[in-house]
Amino acid sequence: MKLSLRTRLFLGMSGLIVFFVAFSLVLNSQFLGRYYIGQKRALLIESAEMINNLYQGDPESIAIELEGLERNRGINISILSPEFEMKYNSSFRLFSQGHERRPFERLPLTPPMAVYLQENLSKGDYVTDVVTDPRLKTNFLTLAARLRNGEILVLNTPIAAINESTAIASRFFLFTGFITIALGGIAVFLFANRFTKPILELNDIAQEMSKLNFSRKYPVQSEDEVGQLGQSINSLSDQLDKAISELKEANEKLKEDIERERRIDKMRKEFISNVSHELKTPIALIQGYAEGLKLNVNEDEESRNFYCDVIMDEADKMNRLVKDLLNLSQIEAGYLKLEKTDFDISAFIDNVMEKYRPIFTEKGIDLVVKKDGNLVVHGDVVRIEQVLVNYLNNAVNHVDDNRRIEVAVTSRKGKVRISVFNSGRPIPGDSLDKIWTSFYKVDKARTRAYGGYGLGLSVVRGIMEAHGNAYGVENKDNGVLFWFEIDEV
């Protein structure tokens, strides 16, 4: 079974307390009696020495001292002559005393006592022994000694009392032992709790950390080893957190990079396939017509001229495509360097319209230009012209039989908005976003008819993004409106 640190600490310390209490109980029951007798014996010896020092042969002269010993120490004192005749016996004296003092009487000593004394007195200065009195059925601790004047001193103290008091002491000790164990158990429990709480908390935090959760911190309250460990764990957590989030960030960035790389790769492949697709037709035409020209070289002038025209026309388209592509790749690669200047937008529009007038007239297009006075704007005039021309080309290519094209210039909130409207069919909703990507065409056949590649609006997007200005398209009643903005000065 796996025990927690707290339980182990509690059990270990409680065990120690129980062990010590039990140990003292055993010590007590085994040795308290003996110790007590030892103490009593020392008391008897001390009393005997005192008497030996005081006694001159006449008990009466030290009666007060003897009575003091008798009463204070509970010792029965007998003094015998060398012939074992009782000269003084404290209990007899007390018993016979009454109210008046009487002279000591000589008491005969019982024969067994005399024998006992004779046997034992030779053994040492102070001979002690536990003796049972058969009449009283009590044990006495007896001391026998030969005094300096040759007389014999016998001291008795009952040890029934001793046994009783050690029993009481043992019982009391058992009682206090239980209280000690109970209180000690509570104290140990509280201590174990208090001591292990921070360790358990640290353990919890470390486990959370292993699950990469670094939000929990150890509240450092002490400066001991546990407090230091807490601090270390906190800083470890912080550093791990930092390192791991940095790693995550780097990983995220790497993923993004890979994703972008993949997207660019896909775009590049699409681009190449689009370009080759666009080139396929003119190349095939050129090849076909060149072969035709070679075979029919002897035919009439007119048909030769037609073959040549087709070849030149297709070569011209290819040339345009390559130019557009170069232009676009330059813009999309971010190499576009804008040369911004302040210029009058009204004059700019007039200038561009002048160039377009022959085309409009030729196609019978009704052109309306609306301008809000003279506005000065800030931008790359060459690139802005490219944008406007792309819108105008598209308008010319998509205008319907109503033949209406409207160019408007309006100013609002620091921006000048230029819009090109042409009457015609609206652009399908799901294509409104897509027309800004290269090679996207809503109607392929129609686009091919006017020689478009679907690159014009991507050029517009690139230029406007480089300017940091907005652009867009809206379907209107009976037509389509393209617009872009440019900073007003």
Ligand X SMILES: Nc1ncnc2c1ncn2[C@@H]1O[C@H](COP(=O)(O)OP(=O)(O)O)[C@@H](O)[C@H]1O
User: Which parts of 99-138 interact with ligand X (CB under 6 A)?
Assistant: none
In one-letter notation, the amino acid at residue 452 is: G
Helix (H/G/I), strand (E/B), else coil: 369: strand
Closest CA to 279 of 307, 317, 327: 317
Choose among ligand X, Mg ion, none what residue 138 binds, the Cβ cut-off being 5 to 8 Å by kind.
none
Q: What would the DSSP string read from start to end of 397-436?
A: HH--TT-EEEEEEEEETTEEEEEEEEESPPPPGGGTTGGG
Candidates 378, 441, 465, 475: give the one binding ligand X (CB under 6 A).
441
In one-letter notation, the amino acid at residue 201 is: E
Q: Which two tokens stand for residue 31?
A: 């040795």
Q: How many residues line the site for ligand X (CB under 6 A)? A: 20
Measured from the CB atom, the residue of 33 and 424 that comes closer to ligand X is 424
Q: Quick one: which H or E segment has residue 171? A: helix 160-210
User: Which parts of 387-416 interact with Mg ion (CB under 5 A)?
Assistant: 394
Measured from the CB atom, the residue of 78 and 394 that comes closer to Mg ion is 394
**CA separation for the pair 354, 371 (Å, rounded):** 15
Candidates 66, 69, 226, 395: give the one binding ligand X (CB under 6 A).
395
Using rule CB under 6 A, residue 14 touches ligand X: no
Min dist CB 408 to Mg ion, Å, is: 20
Choose among ligand X, Mg ion, none what residue 427 binds, the Cβ cut-off being 5 to 8 Å by kind.
ligand X
Measured from the CB atom, the residue of 66 and 455 that comes closer to ligand X is 455
**CA separation for the pair 9, 17 (Å, rounded):** 12
Choose among Mg ion, ligand X, none what residue 377 binds, the Cβ cut-off being 5 to 8 Å by kind.
none
Candidates 452, 464, 467, 469: give the one binding ligand X (CB under 6 A).
452
For residues 181-207, b (16+ Cβ closer than 10 Å) or e, as one string?
beebeeebeeebeebbebeeebeebee
Candidates 282, 379, 456, 479: give the one binding Mg ion (CB under 5 A).
456
Three-point CA angle 272, 277, 278, nearest 5° = 100
**CA separation for the pair 363, 399 (Å, rounded):** 10
Measured from the CB atom, the residue of 192 and 459 that comes closer to Mg ion is 459
Per-residue three-class SS string for 296-327: CCCCCHHHHHHHHHHHHHHHHHHHHHHHHHHH
Q: Which two tokens stand for residue 189?
A: 């429990």
Binding piece for ligand X, criterion CB under 6 A, among 131-139, 261-269, 453-461, 463-471: 453-461
Helix (H/G/I), strand (E/B), else coil: 169: helix
Choose among Mg ion, ligand X, none what residue 398 binds, the Cβ cut-off being 5 to 8 Å by kind.
ligand X
Q: Which two tokens stand for residue 146?
A: 């030969």
Choose among ligand X, Mg ion, none what residue 454 binds, the Cβ cut-off being 5 to 8 Å by kind.
ligand X
138 phi and psi angles, rounded to 5 deg = -130, 155
Q: Which two tokens stand for residue 228?
A: 């230091």
Candidates 378, 442, 472, 488: give the one binding ligand X (CB under 6 A).
442
Candidates 49, 270, 299, 443: give the one binding ligand X (CB under 6 A).
443
Measured from the CB atom, the residue of 43 and 457 that comes closer to Mg ion is 457
Choose among ligand X, Mg ion, none what residue 116 binds, the Cβ cut-off being 5 to 8 Å by kind.
none
Candidates 145, 152, 377, 427: give the one binding ligand X (CB under 6 A).
427
Per CB under 6 A, residues contacting ligand X are 390, 394-395, 398, 422, 424, 427, 435, 440-443, 447, 452-457, 480
Per CB under 5 A, residues contacting Mg ion are 394, 456
